């Protein structure tokens, strides 16, 4: 894996979207080029070592495959993919903690080509049902705690 500093125009593009999303108010970030990455862009919470060397805490590392970036000559698609990669990044001000969540829906290209939007609707339904189950379990735990008191 070869990781280098991203080019200035890629850093500027990602920075603009990072700021639009309001992430810059709580989180530092670094944009790096990962030429072995199979997708255009990913984000990850920086390790303590990276935060130390970047002199930034909390810090998110945004990895971009610049070869793919420049081949994708469509700003709308770039913007959508950058926003999707940053969508799981949030900072809990009460806990003063950075979270970087992975996408909740992951589909294969072949199945997408066969079913299109129906596939995403089905996957979304399952995600929502899972959230309902987690919420119900949380409420049950809280009810048990209250019953013990």
CATH class of the domain defined by 1-101: alpha beta
Question: What is the structure's pLDDT at 64?
Answer: 96
| Tens digit of each residue's pLDDT (9 = 90 or more) over 93-126 | 898 888 898 877 777 888 889 998 998 888 888 8
Q: For tokens 């639009």, what's the residue? A: 20
- How many other CB atoms are found less than 10 A from the CB of residue 56? 15
**pTM, full prediction:** 0.76
Encode pLDDT of 123-143 as tens digits: 888 889 888 999 999 999 999
Q: Give me the numbers of helices (H) and strands (E) for the chain, helices first please.
A: 6, 6
Nearest to 29 by CA among 13, 71, 106, 74: 13
Q: pLDDT by residue (tens digit) across 21-71?
A: 988 888 888 999 999 998 899 999 888 877 777 777 788 999 999 999 999
Mean pLDDT of 79-95: 90
Asked if residue 17 has pLDDT above 90, the reply is: yes
| pLDDT confidence of residue 16 | 95
Query: Counting Cβ atoms within 10 Å, is residue 8 exposed (0-12), middle (13-18) or buried (19+)?
Result: exposed
């Amino acid at each position: 894996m070869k990781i280098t500093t991203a080019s200035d125009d890629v850093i500027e593009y990602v920075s603009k979207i990072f700021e639009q999303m309001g992430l810059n108010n709580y989180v530092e970030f670094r944009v790096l080029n990962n030429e072995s990455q199979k997708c255009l862009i990913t984000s990850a919470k920086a390790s303590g070592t990276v935060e130390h060397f970047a002199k930034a805490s909390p810090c998110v590392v945004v990895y971009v495959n610049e070869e793919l970036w420049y081949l994708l000559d469509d700003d709308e698609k770039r913007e959508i993919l950058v926003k999707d990669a940053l969508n799981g990044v949030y900072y809990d001000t009460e806990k003063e903690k950075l979270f970087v969540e992975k996408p909740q829906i992951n589909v294969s290209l072949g199945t997408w080509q066969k079913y299109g939007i129906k596939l995403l609707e089905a996957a979304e339904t399952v995600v929502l049902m899972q959230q309902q189950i987690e919420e119900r379990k949380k409420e049950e735990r809280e009810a048990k705690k209250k019953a013990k008191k």
